Amino acid sequence: MATDKNKHLNDVLTSHKVSKEQDLLDKHKRKRDEICDALVEKYGADIYSPFNSGSFAKNTAVNKKFDFDLMAPFKRNAFSTLENMFNDVYDFLLEKYSSSAHVRKQKVSIGIEFFADDKGDIVKIDVVPGRELNQDQYKEDDKLNLYVYSQFGKLQSGSDYIRSNIKAQVQNIKDNADRANLRQKVRLLKVWKLYNNKTPKSFFLELITIKAFDKLEISGGLWDRLKSVIEYIRDNVTTVSLPDPGNSNNEVADSMSDYEKSALSDDMRNMINRIEENSDYIKIYFPLNDKFPVEDTSNNKYDERKVAPSIPPPTRFG
């Protein structure tokens, strides 16, 4: 039997809504606040207020996995080199959390993955250390240098660095949020990425989706609109320029290698061909979150036992 693609995609969005995982979300927030406090206590006047920069701040999170990134903005004079900054924050977090979490160095961040709690829930938070370009300049330009610990697309590890106005990145997707529901498309692409073990950074997917909305007239049902974005990625991913809205000198397209880009283009081509051939394939590329089956609500209503005035009894509330 053919699958109603629009209804299915709508159900995918519903079953991956973040609020479904309120409990786990609250646990992430508590840990994030705790880490934030610990950093401020440790670094005092050398650090500005840490802030969220992951998808949660951007409202494109899906509940299979939360991207909880905590930006730790340091003053220029706090460390002599970016490498020192990265290692110092790593050492501090390792010492503080090694008995309750795996702490590891990642591309531009330090990942803290807490051991499963008694409900089997795992909280993972990435701390991204950044240093302002010149002493006291961050208050004016919001710009930070990040340390590239390991190869990041075309950016080499070690001495290299990228500059990024991360607050502007967060703002960018908020600004674009209304256009024909761009965020829905970003969420769906993230669902695809998660279940199909694909590599593109979420930020890359966000920017290319915004670009597709800029270039194309996107209309029709949910599937038609998603298909336009997928076709745009298929046709343009190998050549597209995606300047970082936080800093136009930073080319986010470089965060993927040429090989990864053509693989992504192939993935998009295959996905469209399969789904157009047989609509049931949409369930494979975009699965429901089986933890939260979507129930049929079409028969639910505000019912009345009879058409007559209701007289509520005296009632106590607390």
Residues near other proteins (CB under 8 A), total: 25
* Contact call for residue 316 and Zn ion (CB under 5 A): no
Shortest CB 18 distance to other proteins, Å: 11
Residue identified by tokens 């597709």 is 212
Closer CB to other proteins, 219 or 298, in the complex: 298
Closer CB to other proteins, 219 or 310, in the complex: 310
* Contact call for residue 293 and other proteins (CB under 8 A): no
Shortest CB 289 distance to other proteins, Å: 13
Tell me the CA distances in angstroms from 141 to 173, 185, 250, one per residue in order. Answer: 19, 31, 15
* Contact call for residue 317 and Zn ion (CB under 5 A): yes
Q: Considering CB distances under 5 to 8 angstroms, the limit depending on partner class, which of other proteins, Zn ion, none binds residue 311?
A: other proteins
* Contact call for residue 178 and other proteins (CB under 8 A): no
Closer CB to other proteins, 44 or 313, in the complex: 313
Residue 289 CA to residue 13 CA, distance in Å, equals: 9
Q: Which stretch binds Zn ion (CB under 5 A): 59-67, 126-134, 255-263, 310-318?
A: 310-318
Shortest CB 11 distance to other proteins, Å: 11
Q: What contacts 298, CB < 8 A, 6 or more positions away?
A: none
Burial 55-94 (b: 16+ CB within 10 A, else e): bbbbebbbbbebbbbbbbbbbeebbeebeebbbbbbebbb
Greatest extent of the chain over all pairs of C-alpha atoms, in Å = 78
Closer CB to other proteins, 259 or 317, in the complex: 317
**φ and ψ at residue 28, rounded to 5 degrees:** -60, -45
Shortest CB 313 distance to Zn ion, Å: 17
Burial 296-307 (b: 16+ CB within 10 A, else e): eeeeeeeeeeee
**DSSP summary character for residue 190:** H
* Residues of this chain that bind other proteins (CB under 8 A): 14, 17, 19, 295, 297-298, 300-318
